[in-house]
C-alpha cells in the first residue's frame, strides 16, 4: 500500500501494531498475568459466615404471609462490597423452621434500575436457616434483595401455594 505526501512523493505506508512494539508485548503479557492471578481486579474476598449478629437487621412477613423471615448480614452492618446474608425462615402459622425451601435472590438497586452481574450462592445450613454468599453490593445507596421463596409442591404447611416473596433492603453507605 502506498501513501502520497504533500509534494506528491509516493512512499510505502508502514502499518505497525501497538503490540508489535517490544514495550507493547511486555504490557500485554503483564496485563494477562495480572488478570490470571486476579490481582488488581478490586474485589475483596467474600466475608466469612462468622460475625452474624444475634439480632436480626430486619424482620419481615412474606408477601402471601406464609413465612416469617429474619435477616442478618456479615459484615454487620452491611457495607459496600461483598457480603453474606443469613435468612432465618419460619412458617407463619406454626413458627416452626421452614426447611427444604429454594430461595432465588436477585440483588437490585431500584433507584438506579439495575442489579449485579452475578447471583449469590445459596445453601441451607440448618433447618430453616439459609446462607447467601458472594452478594456484591458494589455501589452506595438503597439495595433490595428480591427473594422468591419456593416450597415443596404439595407440602401441607404451605397451603397449596408453592411460591412466596420477600424483599429485604439495605442502605449501603
Q: Is there a domain that residue 44 lies in? A: no
Instruction: Provide the number of structural domains found in the chain.
Output: 2
Does residue 11 register a pLDDT over 90?
no
Instruction: Give the pLDDT score at 2.
Output: 52
Identify the domain containing residue 17 by its residue range: 2-37
Same domain, 81 and 30: no
Q: Which residue has the higher pLDDT, 100 or 28?
A: 100
Is residue 20 assigned to a domain?
A: yes
Burial 94-114 (b: 16+ CB within 10 A, else e): eeebbeebebebebbbeeeee
The answer on 134 and 168 residing in a single domain is yes
Distance from C-alpha of 98 to C-alpha of 88, rounded to nearest angstrom = 9
What one-character-per-residue DSSP string does 88-150 give?
EEEETTT--B--S-EEEEEEEETTTTEE-SSPPEEEEEETTEEEEEEEEE-SSEEEEEEEEEE
pLDDT of residue 99: 94
Mean pLDDT of 158-167: 75
- What is the CATH classification number for the domain harbouring 100? 2.60.40.1930
Domain co-membership, 82 together with 122 = yes
pLDDT digits (tens, 9 = 90+) for 16-72: 544 445 555 555 555 554 455 444 444 444 444 457 888 899 999 999 999 999 999
Read off the pLDDT of residues 111-140 as tens digits, 9 standing for 90 and up: 999 999 899 999 999 999 999 999 999 999
Amino acid at each position: 500500500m502506498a501513501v502520497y505526501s504533500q509534494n506528491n512523493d509516493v512512499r510505502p505506508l508502514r502499518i505497525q501494531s501497538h503490540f508489535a512494539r517490544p514495550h507493547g508485548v511486555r504490557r500485554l503479557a503483564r496485563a494477562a498475568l495480572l488478570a490470571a492471578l486476579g490481582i488488581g481486579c478490586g474485589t475483596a474476598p467474600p466475608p466469612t459466615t462468622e460475625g452474624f449478629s444475634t439480632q436480626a437487621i430486619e424482620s419481615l412477613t412474606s408477601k402471601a404471609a406464609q413465612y416469617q423471615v429474619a435477616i442478618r448480614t456479615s459484615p454487620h452492618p452491611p457495607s459496600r462490597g461483598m457480603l453474606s446474608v443469613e435468612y432465618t425462615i419460619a412458617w407463619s402459622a406454626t413458627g416452626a423452621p421452614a426447611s427444604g425451601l429454594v430461595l432465588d435472590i436477585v440483588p437490585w438497586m431500584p433507584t438506579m434500575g439495575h442489579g449485579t452481574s452475578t447471583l449469590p450462592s445459596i445453601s441451607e445450613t440448618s433447618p430453616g436457616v439459609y446462607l447467601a454468599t458472594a452478594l456484591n453490593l458494589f455501589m452506595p445507596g438503597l439495595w433490595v434483595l428480591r427473594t422468591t421463596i419456593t416450597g415443596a409442591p404439595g407440602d401441607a404447611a404451605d397451603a397449596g401455594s408453592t411460591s412466596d416473596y420477600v424483599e429485604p433492603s439495605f442502605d449501603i453507605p
